[in-house]
Structure 1
Amino acid sequence: MAQSCKIGPSVLNSDLARLGAECSRMLDCGADYLHLDVMDGHFVPNITFGHPVVECLRKELGQEPFFDLHMMVSKPEQWVKPMAAAGASQYTFHLEATNNPGPLIKDIREHHMKVGLAIKPGTTVECLAPWANQIDMALVMTVEPGFGGQKFMDDMMSKAGANMIVSGSAVMKSDDPRSVINLLRNACVEAIQKRCLDR
């Protein structure tokens, strides 16, 4: 049976003055989940938004949409409780931001969220291996974290097969987001099927 492929637009490059409407538009265009980039100005140079915005989006969009919080923050332990209370579905933190992922993973689970673990392009996939059986998703960055609209790093393709695809400006800035989402999903499904046949 073919693995499903999920596409999650990163709303970082949307019209942030209309963030709720932009999120609704992406869901209407077939997005499977929403990827919400949280930046603290320390782990990455930019600042985006925090848990109050997530809480507002949850109230606006209801309980159904899956919110993957990509926590590009220097102290991921600090925001678990507020993000859980705000309505986050998954808490994706950076391996590079903590010396002790174990207790953090446990804390995220105790707050009833799924666990995502992210690595920057310069971090090897092998660093994820010790945590693979404790997490729900591994996020392999194909751009440097901190800025939207960057060029995709082709050399990251060899790092991992993927069944959840995050795309920012390619979807958000498109005149036809639905067709881009479908294109990404079809390419992902084809790649998974090819990999299964190659085995």
Structure 2
Amino acid sequence: MSHAPIIAPSILSADFARLDEEIKRIPSADWIHVDVMDGHFVPNLTIGAPVAKAIAKVTDKPLDCHLMIEDPGRWVSDYVDAGAHSVTFHAEATNDPVGIARRLRERGCGAGLTIKPGTLADGYLEMVSEFDLILIMSVEPGFGGQSFMPDMLDKVRAFRAEIDRLRLETRLEIDGGISPETIGSAAEAGCDTYVAGSAVYGAADPDAAIELLRERATVA
């Protein structure tokens, strides 16, 4: 793989009442992963664009916004305006993923596509060149702290093969159950970008946890 590993801690596992302080606890993070849930596409409700905008004001780290919402095309511009570095939306939530991706890229924002565990890679491999990031969910989206689903790595391998075949710079991200015990297998399968929530914020020293994840991903 050509990319150095990126560790993107998910603030879903942070203390929402102290986000400024929580972000300061992870100086080694490469990105900040912002989980947006609408209570409809997934059975949980979290934060929206106003909170993403507030986060952008207190950190220089790129915001990796993951929209687990219905009708993402209606809302993506709000996250660009909020200061997102990249906006990832679900393939299952739109009939026009390429159109949304092009709108994001036209505004200078990274475009990401994500698929749930039950969604096959087939049909989306052909549009990989339209995206800056592909996110494979290794748990059912909606809640943090779930167990890693190793059979999702077959999708990772399929996307890695296509990205490499086309010689693209598209990053391959994984989200769900990533820990020091699972990140190595994800790296071996072809991931280069890792979302970790409870593995970081559940640790006594979140920043040391990030460094351990990066070490395990690099060794792999």
Q: How many residues align?
A: 187
Asked if the contact 2:25/2:207 (under 8 Å) is kept, the reply is no
The Cα shift of 1:2 comes to 5.4
The reply to whether residue 115 of structure 1 matches residue 111 of structure 2 is: yes
Q: TM-score, normalised by structure 2?
A: 0.81
Supply the distance in 2 between the matched residues of 1:189 and 1:132 (Cα, whole angstroms). Answer: 24
Q: Cα gap change, 1:103/1:171 in structure 2, threshold over 3 Å: closer, same or farther? A: same
Q: Cα gap change, 1:24/1:40 in structure 2, threshold over 3 Å: closer, same or farther? A: same
The equivalent residue for 1:5 is 5
Q: Which consecutive unaligned segments of at least 5 residues does structure 2 have?
A: 157-189
Supply the distance in 1 between the matched residues of 2:87 and 2:20 (Cα, whole angstroms). Answer: 20
The Cα shift of 1:51 comes to 0.6
Q: Cα gap change, 1:83/1:123 in structure 2, threshold over 3 Å: closer, same or farther? A: same
Matched to 1:18, the amino acid is R
Supply the distance in 1 between the matched residues of 2:99 and 2:155 (Cα, whole angstroms). Answer: 26
Query: Segments of 4+ in structure 1 off by > 2 A?
Result: 125-128
Supply the distance in 1 between the matched residues of 2:207 and 2:16 (Cα, whole angstroms). Answer: 20
The Cα shift of 1:151 comes to 1.1
Q: TM-score, normalised by structure 1?
A: 0.89
Given candidates 135, 141, 145, the residue that maps to 1:145 is: 141
Given candidates 86, 94, 99, the residue that maps to 2:82 is: 86
The reply to whether residue 190 of structure 1 matches residue 206 of structure 2 is: no
Asked if the contact 2:97/2:113 (under 8 Å) is kept, the reply is no
Asked if the contact 1:20/1:57 (under 8 Å) is kept, the reply is yes
**Larger RCO: Structure 1 or Structure 2 (Cα < 8 Å, ≥ 6 residues apart)?**
1
Asked if the contact 1:8/1:35 (under 8 Å) is kept, the reply is yes
Supply the distance in 1 between the matched residues of 2:3 and 2:68 (Cα, whole angstroms). Answer: 28
Supply the distance in 2 between the matched residues of 1:57 and 1:148 (Cα, whole angstroms). Answer: 20
The reply to whether residue 36 of structure 1 matches residue 42 of structure 2 is: no
Instruction: Describe the SS at the equivalent of 1:184.
Output: helix
The equivalent residue for 1:171 is 200
Matched to 1:81, the amino acid is S
The equivalent residue for 2:169 is none
Supply the distance in 1 between the matched residues of 2:126 and 2:98 (Cα, whole angstroms). Answer: 10
1:26-46 Cα offsets, whole Å, 9 max, x none, are 2x2x11101000001110011
Q: Tell which deviates more after alignment, 155-164 or 31-40.
A: 155-164
Which protein is richer in helix relative to its size?
Answer: 1
Q: Could you tell me the percent identity over the aligned residues?
A: 45
The equivalent residue for 1:197 is none
1:13-56 Cα offsets, whole Å, 9 max, x none, are 11110012112212x2x111010000011100111011110111
The Cα shift of 1:75 comes to 0.9
The Cα shift of 1:181 comes to 1.4
Supply the distance in 1 between the matched residues of 2:125 and 2:155 (Cα, whole angstroms). Answer: 12
The reply to whether residue 52 of structure 1 matches residue 81 of structure 2 is: no
Matched to 1:42, the amino acid is H
Instruction: Describe the SS at the equivalent of 2:89.
Output: strand
Matched to 2:83, the amino acid is G
Supply the distance in 1 between the matched residues of 2:38 and 2:198 (Cα, whole angstroms). Answer: 21
Given candidates 95, 98, 116, the residue that maps to 1:99 is: 95
Asked if the contact 1:80/1:111 (under 8 Å) is kept, the reply is no
Asked if the contact 1:31/1:181 (under 8 Å) is kept, the reply is yes
Q: CA RMSD for the aligned pairs?
A: 1.4
Q: Which consecutive unaligned segments of at least 5 residues does structure 1 have?
A: 192-199
1:63-83 Cα offsets, whole Å, 9 max, x none, are x31001000001101112211
